Amino acid sequence: MSQQPEKFFITTPIYYVNARPHIGHTYTTVVCDAIARRQRMLGHDTLFLTGTDEHGQKIERSAAAAGKTPQQLTDEVSGEFRALWDRLGITYDKFIRTTSPEHKRGVQAMFTLLQERGFIYKGSYTGQYCVFDELYADDNSPGTPCPVCGRITETVQEENYFFKLSAMTEPLLKLYEENPDFIYPETRRNEVVAFVKSGLRDLSISRTTFTWGIPVPGDPAHVIYVWLDALCNYATAVGFGSPDPVDQQRYAHYWPANVHMIGKEIVRFHCVYWPAFLLAAALPLPKQIVAHGWLLFEESKMSKSRGNIVRSETILEVLGADALRYFLFREIVFGQDGSFSFDALVQRFNSDLANGLGNLASRTLSMIQRYFAGEVPYPSATIAHTAAEAYITKLAEETIVEYKRLFEAFQFSRALEALWSLLSAVDKYIVETQPWAVAEKEDRDSRSRLATILYTSAEALRIIAVLAHPIIPDSTARIFTQLGLGDIAKTNLNALRWGQLNVGTRLGKIEAVFPRADKSAIERMQKMEEDRKSAADSANGTTAVAEAPVSAAAIATPSATVSAAPNSAAPSGPNAADGPASPAAPAYITIDDFAKVELRVGTVLTAEKVQKADKLLRLTVDIGTEVRQIVAGIAKAYAPETLVGRKVVIVANLAPRKLRGIESQGMIVAASFGEEGQPALASFLEEVPNGARLK
The answer to whether residues 681 and 650 touch, using CB atoms and an 8 Å cutoff, is no
One symbol per residue from 21 to 60: x for binding ligand MSP (CB under 6 A), - otherwise; what is it?
Answer: ---xx-xx------------------------x-------
Give dist(CA 530, CA 307) in Å, integer.
11
One symbol per residue from 301 to 340: x for binding ligand MSP (CB under 6 A), - otherwise; what is it?
Answer: xx--------------------------------------
Rounded least distance, CB 638 to ligand MSP, Å: 16
162 vs 225 by CB, closer to ligand MSP: 225
- By the rule CB under 6 A, 371 interacts with ligand MSP: no
306 vs 600 by CB, closer to ligand MSP: 306
**Three-state DSSP class for residue 405:** helix
482 vs 567 by CB, closer to ligand MSP: 567
**Three-state DSSP class for residue 265:** helix
294 vs 334 by CB, closer to ligand MSP: 294
**Three-state DSSP class for residue 673:** strand
175 vs 237 by CB, closer to ligand MSP: 237
Non-local CB neighbours of 482 within 8 Å, separated by 6+ positions: 361, 365, 507, 508, 509, 510, 511, 513
Gap between the terminal Cα atoms of the chain: 76
Element (H, E) at 11: strand 7-11
22 vs 348 by CB, closer to ligand MSP: 22
Rounded least distance, CB 189 to ligand MSP, Å: 17
233 vs 476 by CB, closer to ligand MSP: 233
Which candidate, 584, 586, 628, 576, places its Cα nearest to that of 607? 628
28 vs 475 by CB, closer to ligand MSP: 28
Give dist(CA 179, CA 181) in Å, integer.
5
For the chain, the farthest-separated pair of C-alpha atoms sits apart, in whole angstroms, at 96
One symbol per residue from 253 to 292: x for binding ligand MSP (CB under 6 A), - otherwise; what is it?
Answer: ---------xx-xx--------------------------
- By the rule CB under 6 A, 669 interacts with ligand MSP: no
Residues 4-23 that bind ligand MSP (CB under 6 A): 13-16
Residues 220-239 that bind ligand MSP (CB under 6 A): 230-231, 233
- By the rule CB under 6 A, 294 interacts with ligand MSP: yes
Rounded least distance, CB 259 to ligand MSP, Å: 13
Q: Assess whether the previous peptide bond of 256 is cis (omega < 30° from 0).
A: yes
Rounded least distance, CB 16 to ligand MSP, Å: 4
- By the rule CB under 6 A, 566 interacts with ligand MSP: no
Nearest 5°: CA angle at 252, between 251 and 253?
Answer: 90
> Inter-axis angle of helices 169-178 and 186-197, to 10 degrees?
150
> For residue 7, how many C-alpha atoms fall within 13 Å in the half-sphere facing its CB?
14
Rounded least distance, CB 404 to ligand MSP, Å: 25
How does strand 617-622 pair with strand 599-609?
Answer: antiparallel
Alpha-carbon dihedral angle through residues 587, 593, 594, 597, given to the nearest 10 degrees:
-130
> How many positions of this chain bind ligand MSP (CB under 6 A)?
20
Rounded least distance, CB 292 to ligand MSP, Å: 7
The 3-class SS string of 82-93 reads HHHHHHCCCCCC
What single letter denotes the amino acid at residue 502? N
Rounded least distance, CB 25 to ligand MSP, Å: 5
229 vs 459 by CB, closer to ligand MSP: 229
Nearest 5°: CA angle at 312, between 309 and 315?
Answer: 110
One symbol per residue from 188 to 227: x for binding ligand MSP (CB under 6 A), - otherwise; what is it?
Answer: ----------------------------------------
14 vs 450 by CB, closer to ligand MSP: 14
Rounded least distance, CB 396 to ligand MSP, Å: 33
460 vs 525 by CB, closer to ligand MSP: 525
Window of 136-144, 166-174, 293-301, 383-391 that interacts with ligand MSP by CB under 6 A: 293-301
Rounded least distance, CB 621 to ligand MSP, Å: 28
- The burial of 492, by beta-carbon neighbours within 10 Å (0-12 exposed, 13-18 middle, 19 or more buried), is given as exposed
Rounded least distance, CB 17 to ligand MSP, Å: 8
- The burial of 388, by beta-carbon neighbours within 10 Å (0-12 exposed, 13-18 middle, 19 or more buried), is given as middle
Which candidate, 10, 212, 70, 43, places its Cα nearest to that of 545? 70
Rounded least distance, CB 293 to ligand MSP, Å: 7
Which candidate, 687, 676, 667, 686, places its Cα nearest to that of 152? 667
Q: Which residues bind ligand MSP (CB under 6 A)?
A: 13-16, 24-25, 27-28, 53, 230-231, 233, 262-263, 265-266, 294-295, 301-302
